[in-house]
Amino acid sequence: MNGWMNKIVKVDLSSGKQTIVSISEDVRRKFIGGRGLGLKLYTDLCSANIDALGEENAIVFSTGPLTGIIQTAGRYQVTTRSPLTNAICNSSSGGFFGAILKKTGLDALIITGKSSKPVYLEITDDSINIKDAKHIWGKNTHETMKTLKSNSSSNVSIACIGPAGENLVPYASIMNDKDRAAGRGGVGAVMGSKNLKAITANGKKEIQVDNPEKLKTMISTINTLIDKNPVTGKSLQLLGTSVLVNVVNAHGMYPTKNFQRGVFNDAEGTSGEKIAETILQGRSACFKCPIACGRKTKTSNREGEGPEYETVWAFGAQLGISDLETITEANYTCNELGLDTITAGSTIGCAMELYEKGAYPNKMEWGDSSNLVKYVEDIAYRRGVGKDLALGSKKLAEKYGRPELAMQVKGMELPAYDPRGVQGQALSYATSNRGGCHMQGYLISPEILGSPVFMDRYSIEGKAEIVALFQDISAAVDSLVLCRFLQFAISIDTFKDILNVVTGFDYSDVELLEVGTRIYNLERKYNAEAGLSRKDDMLPSRFMEEELSEGASRNRVVQLDEMLDRYYKLRGWDENGIPTAETLKSLGI
């Protein structure tokens, strides 16, 4: 079939055995690739009662039919059970690794079991080899990639874990192409639990497409749409994702001091504009991406990539810190050690509020930038205060008797948008299958940025409908596999057209959207089997009970229950948020 490489391999690290996994054309059509295919392969293999860090867990790396072909299509998806949330987890990363992995001839790589010693996988056009990783175990991600590249061709792309993954920190990331991360949910810890240090990909195979001439025309059209859109054609190119700092702060929903406030007085000093003025060295781009939102930066002491918007916030306003250079160096350190910056920063913020409230014995104060990089290092090595911080905010706050001070959903920390200022995003947070996540339904688009249309961010009217729609579209796009930013520039209709041009299939808009609906329901079914229900579709009480006292979102709280009932009804779920038998049957699940 065009677009796909038509090969899926399962590698059992316990035995070393490799198996070709066959799937039907019907399954491929219903789940496509990326997030959908990874989910189907994972749930067919793993039950919902396994240990996320146990030998019986699997981890799936998957690409999609558009990977390696069009703009922003260098991404890959990782699917597993999260050690942070115990829910289903899909984590995505950009760069070049996805495209090069696909060009080795793989649509997906399933890894099971556990090696008796540290290993890495070497994948080429012709083989998958399990190699001894003793010489790179203990190295940081940059050192690991440098060592592995020194013995490979220039075309090789590498995904690996750092010390955080080796030490099973439940929010350890997988890093690829130096500074790109599959960051959320602890996928790096799952790799570490299998003694798998890295995967190297070196592929040169051609990807067959159904209509090459029409594909060229569509690629040109997409470039035009990217250029015309103010977000993809201007804002992200000029200032990167941190263009949002001043925007969100002006809306009074820029979380400050563990979401106690919605306005950070020093936001300007950590904004995209300030990054451009002070530490920016240049732009960086993923595979075939004209947007180039990445920032190459340099501080007085170090250089690297980032920080992105979420990281600027997590190590900045969330902690009351306005020292841009320290924030940036904490970001560099997370990349090198393999840590999710959102959870790391938010957990430190939780500890600071615990200390402020007299519930935490270790002195950790707002605005203290002098210890920030050390905290990050301590987390990765689980030493000193890092033993506590490595738990994540939910378990940390529970340990010290103040669970309400963890700003999380299902165990995953919320990102940099206070839900009291965006009712739709609040509902999206609560109902996200992987936890406190903005990427599974980015309602900031209509509620703040006016894309595709402006919606009243304070109103709950129509929010259940738009949240479900955005979640389903995002699941479909994650299965192609493409960058979320492309959704600003092109519609579901264009996504469908490019998919048909590449594969030769005849998807309709409705069928492609149904793929997203099917994925979302299968994820929800797995979570329900793992014991999650309405009680877990809940925000911290702060957002329902405490009004913000200043800024443009003051005097607001989240009206979650009203939206949740409507959302469940639209989804075809029961009052506890569980998909009904009728709903699952209608989707072929």
State pTM to two decimals: 0.97
Q: How far apart are CA 189 and CA 354, in angstroms?
A: 26
pLDDT digits (tens, 9 = 90+) for 250-277: 999 999 999 999 999 999 999 999 999 9
- pLDDT of 490-514, one tens digit each? 999 999 999 999 999 999 999 999 9
Is residue 527 packed enough to be buried (19+ CB in 10 Å), middle (13-18) or exposed (0-12)? buried
The model's pLDDT over 518-555, given as tens digits with 9 standing for 90+, comes to 999 999 999 999 999 999 999 999 999 999 999 999 99
Residue type, 505: F
Q: Which domains does the chain have, with CATH numbers?
A: 8-202 (3.60.9.10), 240-406 (1.10.569.10), 419-586 (1.10.599.10)
pLDDT in the model for residue 411: 98
Task: Band the pLDDT of 172: cuts 50, 70, 90.
Answer: very high
Q: Mean pLDDT over all residues of the chain?
A: 96
Question: pLDDT value at position 151?
Answer: 82
Residue 154: how many CB atoms within 10 A of its CB? 6
Reported as a single tens digit per residue, the pLDDT across 90-113 is 999 999 999 999 999 999 999 999
Element (H, E) at 129: strand 128-132
Q: Is 199 exposed, middle or buried (0-12, 13-18, 19+ CB in 10 A)?
A: buried
Q: CA angle, corner 225, sides to 220 and 230, nearest 5? A: 145
Report, as an integer, the average pLDDT of 108-122: 98
- Cα distance between residue 248 and residue 264, in whole Å: 10
Exposure string over 465-490, b if 16+ CB within 10 A, otherwise e: ebbbbbbbbbbbbbbbbbbbbbbbbb
Give residue 281's identity as a one-letter amino acid code.
Answer: Q
**Per-residue pLDDT at 153 exceeds 80:** no
Distance CA(468)–CA(321), nearest Å, equals 36
The DSSP symbol for 136 reads T
What is the reported pLDDT for 575? Answer: 96
ω into 452 cis (within 30 of 0): yes
Matching residue, tokens 């707002």: 366
Mean pLDDT in residue range 200-224: 95
* Identity of residue 548: L
Residue 126 has pLDDT above 90, yes or no: no
Percent helix, percent strand, percent coil in the chain, to nearest 5: 45, 15, 45
Token pair of 196 as six digits: 């798998």
Q: With H, G, I as helix, E, B as strand and everything else as coil, classify residue 60.
A: strand
Predicted confidence at residue 1, as pLDDT, reads 86
Distances (CA, A) of 96 to 124, 175, 266, 374, 499: 15, 12, 35, 31, 20
- pLDDT > 90: percent of the chain: 98
R_g over Cα of the chain: 22
Give per-residue pLDDT as tens, 195-204: 999 999 999 9
Nearest CA-CA partner of 517 in 476, 477, 550, 575? 476
Q: Which of 288, 318, 294 is nearest to 307 (CA)?
A: 294
Which 3 state secondary structure label does DSSP give 411? coil
Distance CA 261, CA 245 (A): 15
Q: Tokens in use for 311?
A: 């990281």
Q: What is the pLDDT of residues 22-54, one digit of tens each?
A: 999 999 999 999 999 999 999 999 999 999 999
Coil/strand/helix, residue 117: coil
* pLDDT value of residue 52: 98
**Nearest-5° angle of CA 516, CA 537, CA 247?**
75
User: Is pLDDT above 90 for 208?
Assistant: yes
Residue pair 178/163 in contact by the 8 Å Cβ criterion: no
pLDDT for the residue 154: 78
Phi, psi (degrees; rounded to nearest 5) at 256: -130, 135
CB 499 within 8 A of CB 64: no
- The arithmetic mean of pLDDT across residues 136-143, rounded, is 98
Nearest to 191 by CA among 297, 308, 91: 91
Cβ–Cβ < 8 Å for 42, 51: no
Q: What percent of the chain has pLDDT over 70?
A: 100
- The amino acid sitting at 454 is F
Q: Look at residue 155 in the predicted model and tell me its pLDDT.
A: 87
Confidence at residue 531, expressed as pLDDT on a 0 to 100 scale = 97
- Contact, 2 vs 505, CB < 8 A? no
